[in-house]
Structure 1
Amino acid sequence: MDATAEKILEMQGYKLHVIQTDKYKTNTFVWKMKAPLTKEDVTKRALLPQVLQSSSAKYASTTALRSYLDELYGATLFVDLSKKGEYHVISFSLEIANEKFLSDSSPLLKKGFELLAEILTNPNVSGSAFDKETVEKEKRAQKQRIQSVFDDKMRYSNVRLLQEMCKDEPYALEVNGDTADVDAITPENLYEYFQTAFLEDEMDLYVIGDVNEEDVKKIASDLLQFENRTPKKIEREKVNKRSEVNEVKEEQDVKQGKLNIGYRTNIVYGDPDYFALQVFNGIFGGFSHSKLFINVREKASLAYYAASRLESHKGLMMVMSGIDLKNYDQAIGIINEQMEAMKKGDFTDQELEQTKAVIRNQILETIDTSRGLTEILYHNVVAHTDIKLDTWLTEMDKTTKEEIVAVANKIDLDTIYFLTGMEAGK
């Protein structure tokens, strides 16, 4: 069985993705729902999955819900939020043992489905409002999650870079929302948003494991039915190149400076040169053999860490580094030199082959877990395309030096953000 062969079925109000594989001893359900990022809804939307996974009509407390998970041979349930381009994605993941591997023939697949349906469609409400105590508890937790980003300066500086770089774009919004908007959420308006989301979001259910497609389809159609909808699609906007680089310095009481640099790659997932961009990023800053790591961290000893990563659906590349406050100009100089080297094709065949091998291993490691496999497959939903994993690996492998140079020359430096210490500004 091919662990990445996905059968996509149109259900009522959502798509069902069945991946039949005997690679895992568990069955995994991943429910994903996405909607455009908006200032009005982002905070409410971030709170919603936390409230839904906290309790339900049948399991009216977190303790009751968690003990039922224990009864299901230690099944695990968690929620996650992410930004994919200009979309806000909610994920519910439920992993449960496959009854084929148990002496007890309890119908766990069906029970897993029933629990997922309970959490998604039968919330803990009275009248037309969520349970007040649950909402208040989760609002406190949400404020802490938002605050934790400020406390983690590495994450904070990346958030600030994106806020400055994408100032008038939805992508500047933080995934957990804004502390200032949490208090205005009530059990009533959150329940109203819950109804809107399940009416309008693009919804996908992934079921991964040694399962029978017909069984999965039948249980899904019995338990999960929603209104059919035409999901909102965001058209890709052309962002004009800045006439000069946006440079932002922020002072806080920090000993180590955080230098974050944002580039517009002008390439997104689904574009023909996306695979060459992946290889470009690997040589430039994606791995421990990359130019940034070797030249900024190892040779010049300027940084405690130096790496780059891509945002595949927004067309961004971010460089993150931790440097001594006094090394700002020198670090930027060396990072710029590495970008120039890439634009001139100043990298060896060995660097190219090593990078391809590392990316291949990274992808194969990712699909070793059912949730990682889901993330890879979900790129296609976000980008409204259908790139098979084999195509991904083949196209990346075929990438030439010339194609990487062409990609490098499409990339524009946009914003430099530096979180520096108080004494540096004196």
Structure 2
Amino acid sequence: MKISKETVVEKKGYRLHILPSKKYKTISIVAKLKAPMKREGITERALLPSVLQKATQQLPNVRTLQSALENLYGTGFSSDGSKKGENHVLSFRMEVVNEVYLKNQEPILENALQIFSDVLFDPKVENGAFDESIVAREKQTLEQKIKSIKDDKMSYANMRLIDHMCKDEPYALHVHGYLEDFEQITAQSLYEYYQAMINRDLLDVYISGDVDQTEIEKLADQYFTREFSENADDHKHSELTGSIEAKEIVEEDDVNQGKLHIGYRTNIKFGDPDYYALQVFNGIYGGFPSSKLFMNVREKHSLAYYAASRFESHKGLLLVFSGVDPKDYDQAKSIILEQMKAMESGDFTDDQVEDSKEQVINQLQETMDNANGLIEVLYHQTLSGKDIPAEELIENIRNVKKEDVIKVAEKIQLDTIYFLTSQEGGE
């Protein structure tokens, strides 16, 4: 599989990634602002994407901003915040029609970049504060989002697992923020946080589509250049050292179905030599419908409503999720732990290794077939400092052998068993 070659250029205050491709009739622009996860300011940071995309100085309300985007042939714009390892990443995405496909040759891309730049660098501000009505509305929306996590018991159990597993590590911080912070956040304090963020965060800008590199560089410089004062100490990460003592936690709540979630430390991160074998391992263990967890916990013993696993590439975690009847807790837990032992002892076939490799590769190709998916894959590389061409990623997965998967299983350490159960039930 051949994908467009990424050109990375260090610029004043940002890093530009150009991905020329004739495959799409649109141009995708993605800006990523990265800072370390910190408790202080985390709720302000969670609020910012939605506040920024509501109004700029030139387009001072939701209606005028939306109308300007609509006038650019329905240009789409979205933003969100996410946790990548111990980084808090804010993403701003725009998809704009490529003007080469239009008869009248308007400067669509430049106009779109102007709006994009204004959202990031020139938001609506009055007397040193954001628009109070916008901030109040977005606080309300975020508050509802945080409260709704408690209602989605699977998400809630996962959050509680991480709370216990990564206690005292930045990774345990909640990416959507904390309800107790809302009272002290004002339109002015949020703007002060924004000013510090926009001057200190690492900024990566990705532009993908049928574009001319020289022209794109010129436009990007015009709209993304900024004064930047990075603090290098900000970008260090905690490392867990020493042996792990596995813990088991049972919590009660009003649930119809028990949530048994288990956290392991993989001791493997994106870019490590064992990373490709970890992807194959996860496919066999719990990543696909043909996996050991699905077949043994759900199909064979009918103990779980769902049973699956996924791994976190930048923190080195493997997380198992299952929904079980509280009375089946001990049996389900035993079977899940047995599947890990089976992986360590090589109790899987070469055919399973080959099937998992094919599924991992298909998933990767599907992701990279889409401009935003490709940008996410490339941003993983930026975060890890490892630049690996797409062809090499796929080749490395193809080269995984059964013994590589066993080696990965031997590295994985059980950290936390977490069970969320109904109030009258339990172990």
TM-score for both structures, normalised by structure 2 = 0.97
C-alpha distance after superposition, 1:370-398 (max 9, x if no partner) = 11111100011111221222221111110
Displacement after TM superposition at 1:67 (Å): 1.6
Other-structure match for 2:97 = 97
- Given that 2:326 and 2:426 are in contact with CA atoms closer than 8 Å, whether structure 1 keeps it comes out as no
- Given that 2:249 and 2:417 are in contact with CA atoms closer than 8 Å, whether structure 1 keeps it comes out as yes
Displacement after TM superposition at 1:151 (Å): 1.2
Other-structure match for 1:146 = 146
Provide the rounded CA distance (Å) in 2 between the counterparts of 1:206 and 1:176. Answer: 25
| Equivalent residue runs for 1:117-196 within 5 Å | 117-196=117-196
Other-structure match for 2:287 = 286
- Given that 2:260 and 2:321 are in contact with CA atoms closer than 8 Å, whether structure 1 keeps it comes out as yes
Partner AA of 2:116 in structure 1: L
- Given that 2:247 and 2:415 are in contact with CA atoms closer than 8 Å, whether structure 1 keeps it comes out as yes
Other-structure match for 2:369 = 368
* 2:118 is aligned with 1:112: no
Provide the rounded CA distance (Å) in 1 between the counterparts of 2:238 and 2:160. Answer: 23
Q: Identify the range of structure 1 (220-229 vs 354-363) with the bigger mean alpha-carbon deviation.
A: 220-229
Partner AA of 1:361 in structure 2: N
Partner AA of 1:288 in structure 2: P
- Given that 1:241 and 1:414 are in contact with CA atoms closer than 8 Å, whether structure 2 keeps it comes out as no
C-alpha distance after superposition, 1:354-377 (max 9, x if no partner) = 100001100011012111111100
Provide the rounded CA distance (Å) in 1 between the counterparts of 2:235 and 2:39. Answer: 17
Provide the rounded CA distance (Å) in 1 between the counterparts of 2:173 and 2:63. Answer: 33
Provide the rounded CA distance (Å) in 1 between the counterparts of 2:242 and 2:305. Answer: 33
Other-structure match for 1:49 = 49
C-alpha distance after superposition, 1:153-186 (max 9, x if no partner) = 1111111110110011010011111111122111
* 2:356 is aligned with 1:355: yes
C-alpha distance after superposition, 1:316-335 (max 9, x if no partner) = 00000111111101111111
C-alpha distance after superposition, 1:285-321 (max 9, x if no partner) = 0001111111111111111111000000000000001
Q: Secondary structure at the match of 2:77?
A: strand
C-alpha distance after superposition, 1:392-421 (max 9, x if no partner) = 111111011111111100000100111101
Other-structure match for 2:419 = 418
Q: Secondary structure at the match of 2:70?
A: helix
Displacement after TM superposition at 1:236 (Å): 4.9
Provide the rounded CA distance (Å) in 1 between the counterparts of 2:167 and 2:105. Answer: 55
Provide the rounded CA distance (Å) in 2 between the counterparts of 1:241 and 1:182. Answer: 38
Q: Secondary structure at the match of 2:53?
A: helix
Other-structure match for 1:234 = 236
Partner AA of 2:225 in structure 1: Q
| Equivalent residue runs for 1:194-205 within 5 Å | 194-205=194-205
Displacement after TM superposition at 1:9 (Å): 0.8
- Given that 2:55 and 2:65 are in contact with CA atoms closer than 8 Å, whether structure 1 keeps it comes out as yes
Q: Secondary structure at the match of 1:77?
A: strand
Q: Identify the range of structure 1 (48-57 vs 231-240) with the bigger mean alpha-carbon deviation.
A: 231-240
Displacement after TM superposition at 1:188 (Å): 1.2
Other-structure match for 1:332 = 333
Partner AA of 2:243 in structure 1: K
Classify 1:272/1:262 alpha carbon distance in 2 versus 1 (closer, same or farther; 3 Å).
same
Q: Identify the range of structure 1 (317-326 vs 103-112) with the bigger mean alpha-carbon deviation.
A: 103-112
Provide the rounded CA distance (Å) in 2 between the counterparts of 1:333 and 1:282. Answer: 20
- Given that 1:3 and 1:20 are in contact with CA atoms closer than 8 Å, whether structure 2 keeps it comes out as no
Partner AA of 1:242 in structure 2: I
Provide the rounded CA distance (Å) in 1 between the counterparts of 2:345 and 2:227. Answer: 53
Partner AA of 1:377 in structure 2: L
Other-structure match for 1:16 = 16
Provide the rounded CA distance (Å) in 2 between the counterparts of 1:156 and 1:219. Answer: 44
Q: Secondary structure at the match of 2:351?
A: helix
Q: Secondary structure at the match of 1:424?
A: coil
Q: Secondary structure at the match of 1:240?
A: coil
C-alpha distance after superposition, 1:22-76 (max 9, x if no partner) = 1111101000010000000211111111110111111111121112111111111
Q: Secondary structure at the match of 1:366?
A: helix
* 2:247 is aligned with 1:246: yes
Provide the rounded CA distance (Å) in 2 between the counterparts of 1:388 and 1:332. Answer: 40
- Given that 1:43 and 1:177 are in contact with CA atoms closer than 8 Å, whether structure 2 keeps it comes out as yes
Partner AA of 2:291 in structure 1: S
C-alpha distance after superposition, 1:245-291 (max 9, x if no partner) = 21111111111111100000011112111111111111100001111
TM-score for both structures, normalised by structure 1 = 0.97
Provide the rounded CA distance (Å) in 2 between the counterparts of 1:389 and 1:182. Answer: 43
